[in-house]
Amino acid sequence: MSAFSRFTPLVNALPSTIPFVGPEAIERQRGRTIAARIGANESGFGPAPSVFDAIARAASQTWQYNDPENHDLKQALATHLGTAPANIAVGEGIDGLLGQIVRLVIEPGMPVVTSLGSYPTFNFHVVGHGGRLVTVPYAEDREDLDGLLDAVRREDAPLVYFANPDNPMGSWWDAGRVIDFARALPETTLLILDEAYCETGPDSALPSVASLIEMPNVLRTRTFSKAYGLAGARVGFAVGTPGTVQAFDKIRNHFGMNRIGTAAALAALADQDYLKDVLTGISASRARISAIARNAGLVPLPSATNFVAIDCGRDAAFSRAIVDRLMDVHGIFIRMPGVAPLNRCIRISTGPEADMALLEEALPQVVAALE
């Protein structure tokens, strides 16, 4: 009996793929230690000292399962957001929640609308559950809301994904336009409004919680991985109506959260003064990356995230060469968008001064060498 015969026809038909090649794998493949890790949109500024204290206190309890109801974290998030705990689902980062949402909504063959070149892990989950991706090209380097709406209506799609602010381009729409888009969707279409970068964008880009909280076909996903500096802890949450949020209990891993990560998230949420300092650092680092790019003859794009997309002015091969040479020669890890025309760009995450200094020295050398 072939090993593959044990798997479902869907799994047998899927390619073996990893949406992102991690920096650790790059180090192993190339035999080169990373000197500046500014490619995965993590926070090089790290979490607050109060978070490290909470982690240390929680470590002695790591032999215990985490509260399967995530009661304390839901309560804290509800207080922070001005809503009720019943409006919140907690999960293992946005990636874990995306997989659960697709599982809740999509059966094999169903259409799912997203932007061409947007977050590839969402696509990974859709394909993994047998969904049919319907993609809409970006327009002027941001997600095309009119195009997404047209595709939803044309396909009668039960699910649409839209990130605001956006990855990989760092672009954003103002809150009013986002609300209009959500309200224009058919009631039968669930909107995933991915707000992973909500803390780093302008206030004008973030719809209030109250503006969408009564819509059962909207789920807003957020994370502690970016501005709060807890990417390795895997803590995310979704905000929606109680009826929609409660559906997660039917399929989620009830012991998926860990005690240390939960304690870290609670402490991070409580330390808003530190978050303000980090956001100041992110803003300064975005400006620094933009200046470095311009000095190297490249064009930085406006960003509402903790990274900057940089137009290299040529094709994907040139962008890829910059990414590879920065790593191979200088040990600087960055990434680039995966599809045209976005892949004319590279993408550099914000980080502390030591990382920016390495980038400032290396990027002009790399561009000059390639030209």
User: What are the pLDDT digits (tens) for 269-287?
Assistant: 999 999 999 999 999 999 9
- Which range of residues forms the domain containing residue 285? 18-46+273-370
Shared-domain flag, residues 120 and 264:
yes
Shared-domain flag, residues 130 and 240:
yes
Residue that is last in its domain, among 254, 270, 286: 270
> Is residue 282 classed exposed, middle or buried when 0-12, 13-18 and 19+ CB atoms within 10 A define those classes?
buried
> Can you tell me the distance from the alpha carbon of 304 to that of 198, in angstroms, rounded to the nearest whole number?
8
Q: 11-20, 126-135, 218-227, 281-290: lowest mean pLDDT where?
A: 11-20
Q: Which CA distances in Å does 5 have to 9, 12, 85, 127, 181?
A: 8, 8, 44, 20, 44
pLDDT tier, 153 (very low <50, low <70, confident <90, very high otherwise): very high
Q: Within a domain: residue 231?
A: yes
Shared-domain flag, residues 40 and 53:
no
Tally Cβ neighbours within 10 Å of residue 155.
16
Shared-domain flag, residues 161 and 220:
yes
Q: What's the length of the chain?
A: 371
pLDDT at 19: 77
Tally Cβ neighbours within 10 Å of residue 276.
12
The pTM (predicted TM-score) of the whole model is 0.96
Shared-domain flag, residues 30 and 57:
no
Q: What secondary structure letter does DSSP report for 39?
A: S
Cα 228 from chain centroid?
Answer: 13
Q: Within a domain: residue 13?
A: no
pLDDT at 2: 58
Bridge partners of residue 220, in order along the sequence: 193, 239
**Amino acid identity for residue 188 in this structure:** T
Shared-domain flag, residues 249 and 293:
no
pLDDT at 6: 85
Residue that is last in its domain, among 270, 294, 317: 270
What is the maximal distance between C-alpha atoms in the chain?
A: 61
Domain count, the chain: 2
Tell me which of 14 and 289 has the higher pLDDT: 289
Shared-domain flag, residues 262 and 303:
no
